Amino acid sequence: MHNILLTGVNGQVGFELKRSLQGLGTVHAPGREGLDLTRPDAIRELVRALKPTLIVNPAAYTAVDKAESEAELAYAINATAAGVLAEEAKRLGVPLIHYSTDYVYSGEGSQPWREDDAVAPPNVYGASKLAGEEAIRASGCDHLILRTSWVYGARGKNFLLTMLKFGRERDSMSIVADQIGAPTWSRSIADITAHIVAGRPDWEGVSGVYHLVNAGETSWHGFAEAIFKLAAERGDKVPTTLAAIATEAYPTPAKRPKNSRLQLDKLHDTFGLVPPDWEEALKLCFDTVA
């Protein structure tokens, strides 16, 4: 049984991880008041007091557009804090599971990204997450870096909840249709993480980067169509018009990748795990959303 330190418990993934990891040991899940990730000394102090046998770090600065003007804060949480956790994991001789993003890639092309493809973040958020990955590798600790994309769930700020809100308020909407990726339920991420932990008596030979997303692909427009189809089936008000637009028609402070496809072969080959299809995951998530 593990003694687990879980960060970011109030976030989408952290909230689900607290549930999924419960059967694998004691889960210590301090909120922001108990763990200030902008203070490296506070991180070290907590880790040394708890002496975890596993550190799981879904905490992140995820305000992609705000990161363009808050780079220092983004790097503090996504890079420096991740590096400190990795250094403490190395000191204790315990593994670290960390979550990263498709934004470390350039977002060009149309082929699914492999874990060993070249990285070229298109914005500050992606660069800060890549810096975190590099700090973890440099620490020499046993680690899993799980890159995911398009995360949504029943809590927090995400595309699913935004669409449901706007669907109740608007008769017509325009959604970007030329960015392609895999909508990924936060619970899928948490449950697969728990399966990985449960199946690893030791971590030798598995350290590295893995992709963890729901299977399949769609556009943001296709994701919105699926959301509104399910919403309409349960009697919610939905827009009567859903227009497909190009990225250029919806400018944002941070550049968005058009290709967020992530290949899943390595996850299957190493751990024998296959994430559910994104449409099936969305249907299951809908049962948890008011």
- Indicate if the pLDDT at residue 218 is higher than 80: yes
Question: Could you confirm whether 152 is annotated as catalytic?
Answer: no
Q: How much is the pLDDT for 207?
A: 96
The whole-chain average pLDDT of the chain stands at 97
- Among residues 61, 75, 103, 125, the one annotated as catalytic is 125
* Burial (0-12, 13-18, 19+ Cβ within 10 Å), 115: middle
Look up the pTM and report it.
0.96
- Give mean pLDDT, residues 268-283: 97
- Give mean pLDDT, residues 14-37: 95
Q: Which two tokens stand for residue 89?
A: 């994991």
d(CA 132, CA 134): 5
Q: How much is the pLDDT for 200?
A: 84
DSSP code string of 130-176: HHHHHHHHHHT--EEEEEE-SEE-SSSS-HHHHHHHHHHH-SEEEEE
Q: How much is the pLDDT for 7?
A: 98
- Give mean pLDDT, residues 17-39: 95
Q: How much is the pLDDT for 229?
A: 97
Band of the pLDDT at 201, cuts 50, 70, 90?
confident
DSSP code string of 168-228: HH-SEEEEE-S-EE--EEHHHHHHHHHHHHHT-S--TTT-EEEE---BS-EEHHHHHHHHH
What confidence tens digit (pLDDT) does each residue in 130-156 have? 999 999 999 999 999 999 999 999 998
Band of the pLDDT at 19, cuts 50, 70, 90?
very high
Q: What is the 3-state secondary structure (H, E, C) of 45-82?
A: HHHHHHCCCEEEECCCCCCCCHHHCCHHHHHHHHHHHH
Q: How much is the pLDDT for 5?
A: 98
d(CA 54, CA 4): 5
- Indicate if the pLDDT at residue 126 is higher than 90: yes
- Give mean pLDDT, residues 191-200: 95
d(CA 101, CA 124): 12
Contact (CB, 8 A) for 85 and 145: no
Q: How much is the pLDDT for 49?
A: 97
- Give mean pLDDT, residues 155-184: 96
Q: How much is the pLDDT for 195?
A: 97
d(CA 114, CA 262): 7
Q: How much is the pLDDT for 203?
A: 86
What confidence tens digit (pLDDT) does each residue in 41-94 have? 999 999 999 999 999 999 999 999 999 999 999 999 999 999 999 999 999 999
